Amino acid sequence: MTGPSGDQDARAGITNVGMWSRAVSRAAMFLCLWLVLAGARPADIPAAAAAVVAATWASLYLLKPSASRRSPVAIARLAVLFLYHSIVAGWDVARRALDPRLPLHPGFVAYPTRLPHGVRRNVFTTLTSLLPGTVPTGERNGHILYHCLDVDQPVLADLAAEEAALVRALYNE
């Protein structure tokens, strides 16, 4: 598939077959999203087709496919780690909220991420924003600032584990 970066994609190791494969998989995801949001009515087929084609083209143009492979095993490990941290942190937050005798030591920690600015860092901060007890609040000196309910907890170690799992799962590094 040639597009806005056809020659660059070929140099990056993405063949025309790979581009078509990625386009088809993205189109299938957009079609599923359409079906979930709008339902499956025959009268909507022209609008659905136009929306799927436009969304697929836009996604290929704005988020170029890469030659890296996703690891299903690492993605499953990331999901389990995220679920574990969500349950443990959620339980801890609920316990602290319901028992005023438990100490809170709110504050900020600066996490020195290895991820470059852009999509990778945004995915990481989005993932970690879903964990109870910590919220990314900005950046300072290349570090991501997190507001934490208890800075005495191993927040930096937990963030490092999440980052490592994310990199293994999505970026195959």
Q: In terms of domains, do 106 and 154 share one?
A: yes
Instruction: Specify the pLDDT at position 109.
Output: 93
pLDDT at 60 over 80: yes
At 69, the amino acid letter reads: R
Contact status, residue 89 vs residue 132, Cβ threshold 8 Å: yes
Instruction: Specify the pLDDT at position 22.
Output: 79
Predicted confidence (pLDDT) per residue in 3-43, tens digit? 444 444 444 445 566 677 778 888 888 888 888 887 888 88
Radius of gyration of the CA atoms of the chain, in A:
21
Q: In terms of domains, do 87 and 111 share one?
A: yes
3-class secondary structure, 133? coil
Q: In terms of domains, do 122 and 50 share one?
A: no
Q: In terms of domains, do 165 and 107 share one?
A: yes
Instruction: Specify the pLDDT at position 136.
Output: 93
Closest residue by Cα to residue 116 from 129, 128, 125, 105 = 125
Instruction: Specify the pLDDT at position 70.
Output: 66
Q: In terms of domains, do 164 and 95 share one?
A: yes
Which structural domain, as residue segments, surrounds residue 33? 6-62
Q: In terms of domains, do 11 and 76 share one?
A: no
Q: In terms of domains, do 86 and 156 share one?
A: yes
> How far apart (Å, rounded) are the C-alpha atoms in residues 60 and 62?
6
155 Cβ contact partners less than 8 Å away, ≥ 6 residues apart: 109, 111, 134, 146, 148
Indicate whether 67 belongs to any domain. no
Overall number of domains in the chain: 2
Q: Which of 15, 40, 62 is the last residue of a domain?
A: 62
Q: In terms of domains, do 163 and 84 share one?
A: yes
Instruction: Specify the pLDDT at position 63.
Output: 72
- pLDDT band for 65, please (50, 70, 90 cuts): low
Instruction: Specify the pLDDT at position 2.
Output: 44
Indicate whether 79 belongs to any domain. yes
Q: In terms of domains, do 76 and 152 share one?
A: yes
Predicted confidence (pLDDT) per residue in 81-129, tens digit? 778 877 887 887 788 778 878 778 889 999 999 888 888 888 889 888 8
Q: In terms of domains, do 49 and 92 share one?
A: no
